[in-house]
Amino acid sequence: MMNTFIGHSIDLMKAFSKDCDNCFNMKYSGYDFVTHKDNHSIFPLTDKDSGEIGDIQRLEDHALIQKTKPYLEDSVKAVEHINKAGSIEVYALGSMLLKLARQNGVKLLTEEVVELDRTASSQFKLSFETGASLETTDLLLASGPFIQQHAKSLGYDLPIYNIKQRKFVFKDTKQIIPRDMPFTIYADSQYLQWNPDEEKLMNEYEEYHWLLEEFPA
């Protein structure tokens, strides 16, 4: 279901991009999932067969992987490439949509919601940091990482949780990564590599034990 939903969003963006002369720089560079394991089917066959995930190409020919993706390690065994993926400029898309919404009569109000309640007269009441409030019968909650917190105050428990992720940025001094490389995801679970001193330290303190455990793909 999620794939159908996302696929539909991509189709809408594609049509919009065509209408505005690719004003938000939509690129189909694809996503690559790579594995070091033999016979590791990254996406289950049933998904591929039903076309749920979209067009996926599996590459196992070592020489071909090295020729087309020379930036990958020699020991990579397979790459699964998702065609219907890539990148967009989110601010350009957002500004464009906002402009269109305004042209169609949308009034923009920028406020921080500090409280969400249900009321008898209308369905929802939003209280803002400034002390002002707004009542409405329709509410579209799109508060990203705070959505669960907001939904709970309205009596909903959504099956959503947040995962803290780290982002590392470093200079590609050897210029290994080409500018058009697809977004590449390592699909194998793994253990982090520590030096013996670090490993000893982590073994000594229980709160660090998790760093020695297997990490998911």
Ligand X SMILES: Cc1cc2nc3c(=O)[nH]c(=O)nc-3n(C[C@H](O)[C@H](O)[C@H](O)COP(=O)(O)OP(=O)(O)OC[C@H]3O[C@@H](n4cnc5c(N)ncnc54)[C@H](O)[C@@H]3O)c2cc1C
- Interface residue list for ligand X (CB under 6 A): 112-113, 142-144, 146, 167
Residues 6+ apart with CB under 8 A from 129: 111, 112, 114
- For residue 77, the minimal CB distance to ligand X (Å) is 25
The residues that bridge with 79 in the sheet, in sequence order, are 34, 59
Assign residue 117 a region (left: φ > 0; alpha: ψ between -120 and 50; beta: otherwise): beta
Q: Which amino acid is at 86?
A: G
Tell me whether residue 144 or residue 196 sits nearer to ligand X (CB atom).
144
| Cβ at position 79, least distance to ligand X in Å | 19
Longest CA–CA span in the chain (Å) reads 68
Q: Which is nearer to ligand X, 63 or 90 (CB)?
A: 90
Q: How far apart are CA 82 and CA 57, in angstroms?
A: 7
Question: Which residue lies nearest ligand X, judged by its C-beta?
Answer: 144
Q: Which is nearer to ligand X, 47 or 89 (CB)?
A: 89
Q: Which position has the token pair 């660090």? A: 208
Using the minimum distance from each CB to ligand X, give the nearer residue, 144 or 159. Answer: 144
Q: What is the DSSP letter of 104?
A: T
Q: How far is the CB of 89 from ligand X (least distance, A)?
A: 11
CB nearer ligand X, residue 33 or residue 65: 33
For residue 186, the minimal CB distance to ligand X (Å) is 16
* ∠ CA 201-204-205, rounded to 5°: 95
Q: Write down the least CB distance from residue 166 to ligand X, Å.
A: 10
Cβ at position 143, least distance to ligand X in Å: 4
**Phi and psi angles of residue 152, each rounded to the nearest 5 degrees, phi first:** -65, -35
The residue (of 122 and 149) whose beta carbon lies closer to ligand X is 149
Under 8 Å between Cβ of 135 and 119: yes
